[in-house]
């Protein structure tokens, strides 16, 4: 009778012993589980997945279209050289520009090479007119060496152009010729002054672009820039791009034009009181521009060379821009977005 009463008690004690044994085993393993948990989480947290470039979709607010590589000047530091003679048919170019507008483009800048070479300036003139009248872009601009611009061009297309930038690296004509910014007996500075007056006459904002090199780094341009009074004076540090102005296959060898960061800073310090001065070092410049080449391919300069995407015309803007290498933060940091429509500039000549 007693054994029958003890049976349930023995079963309870046996079950309790088994639970105690399991608990003790778990306690022995606890330190190991703790370390595993700590290192496991640490390892997982360190494996951050890098977002693709297009994780935050890039909007092509401002685009630089180098529709030709041909040029009548031979600037020794040029980093967009005449590697091809190709120019898109104008209707194809217009198609690509319309696609860019649909993707968010607000400003287009036409450059080269020399944009006024093609069809005596009528090609770029028709694109300017199309972008302003058909696409209704807030800002349309051109960068030119100025040598081929005529007053006749302004009469035909000036009303559609917001900004004209003329490249001028020195106000000493001998220095311009040494750099390669000259043609025969033509005086680059004299032509610059004519264009400045035409811009005034035809209500186009005037801008100057200067590349600072070993040839002009010691110059003082304060009096000339103050007198001309451009809306912006873009001052670039000479930039080296493999395959363009350095390397065996390059058409230019720009090493002798290169200046140090300290030399560039010295030039900027000398001109710091010029209100329209907009400086751009190599770091600021390299990846902060959306550049389209003559085939309408975005050019990625992150690796010190120009790696092209596929053409916007073939794959669309959204797909092509993923391979642009564009640094949108630097674009805004360097002042890439500014008052760029002449309707808002309130030009006072």
Nearest to 281 by CA among 180, 212, 218, 179: 212
Catalytic residue (one of 26, 34, 78, 200): 78
Nearest to 121 by CA among 153, 162, 165: 153
Q: What is the spatial distance between Cα 310 and Cα 299, in angstroms, rounded to a whole number?
A: 10
3-state DSSP assignment of residue 307: strand
Q: Which two tokens stand for residue 299?
A: 């050019």
Catalytic residue (one of 5, 26, 34, 71): 71
To the query of whether residue 34 is one of the catalytic residues in this protein, the response is no
Q: What is the spatial distance between Cα 240 and Cα 137, in angstroms, rounded to a whole number?
A: 32
To the query of whether residue 199 is one of the catalytic residues in this protein, the response is no
Question: 175: how many CB neighbours lie within 10 A of its CB?
Answer: 17
3-state DSSP assignment of residue 108: strand
Query: What's the distance, CA 88 to chain centroid?
Result: 22
Instruction: List the Cα angle 98/102/107 in 5-degree steps.
Output: 75
To the query of whether residue 78 is one of the catalytic residues in this protein, the response is yes
The set of catalytic residues is 71, 75, 78
């Amino acid at each position: 009778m007693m054994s029958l009463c003890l049976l349930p008690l023995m079963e309870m004690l046996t079950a309790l012993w088994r639970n105690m044994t399991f608990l003790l085993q778990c306690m022995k393993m606890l330190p190991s589980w703790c370390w595993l948990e700590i290192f496991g989480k640490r390892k997982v947290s360190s494996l951050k997945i890098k977002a693709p470039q297009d994780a935050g979709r890039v909007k092509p607010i401002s685009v630089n279209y180098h529709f030709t590589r041909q040029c009548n000047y031979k600037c020794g530091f040029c980093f967009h050289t005449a590697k091809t003679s190709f120019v898109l048919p104008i209707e194809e170019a217009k198609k690509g520009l319309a696609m860019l507008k649909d993707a968010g483009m607000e400003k287009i800048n036409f450059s080269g090479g020399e944009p006024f070479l093609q069809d005596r300036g009528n090609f770029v003139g028709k694109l300017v007119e199309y972008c302003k009248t058909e696409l209704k872009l807030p800002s349309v601009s051109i960068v030119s060496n100025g040598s081929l611009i005529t007053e006749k061009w302004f009469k035909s297309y000036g009303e559609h152009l917001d900004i004209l930038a003329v490249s001028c690296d020195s106000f000493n004509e001998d220095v311009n010729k040494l750099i390669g910014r000259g043609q025969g007996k033509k005086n680059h500075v004299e032509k610059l002054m004519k264009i400045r007056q035409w811009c005034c006459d035809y209500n186009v904002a005037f801008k100057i672009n200067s590349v600072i090199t070993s040839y002009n780094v010691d110059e003082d341009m304060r009096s000339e820039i103050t007198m001309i009074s451009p809306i912006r004076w873009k001052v670039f540090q000479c930039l080296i791009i493999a395959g363009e102005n350095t390397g065996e296959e390059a058409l230019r060898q720009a090493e002798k034009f290169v200046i140090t960061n300290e030399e560039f800073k010295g030039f900027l310090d000398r001109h710091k009181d010029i209100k329209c001065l907009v400086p751009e070092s190599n770091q600021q410049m390299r990846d902060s521009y959306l550049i389209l080449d003559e085939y309408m391919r975005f050019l990625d300069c992150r690796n010190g060379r120009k790696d092209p995407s596929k053409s916007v015309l073939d794959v669309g803007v959204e797909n092509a821009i993923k391979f642009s290498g564009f640094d949108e933060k630097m674009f805004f940091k360097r002042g890439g977005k500014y008052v760029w429509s002449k309707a808002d500039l309130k030009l006072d000549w």
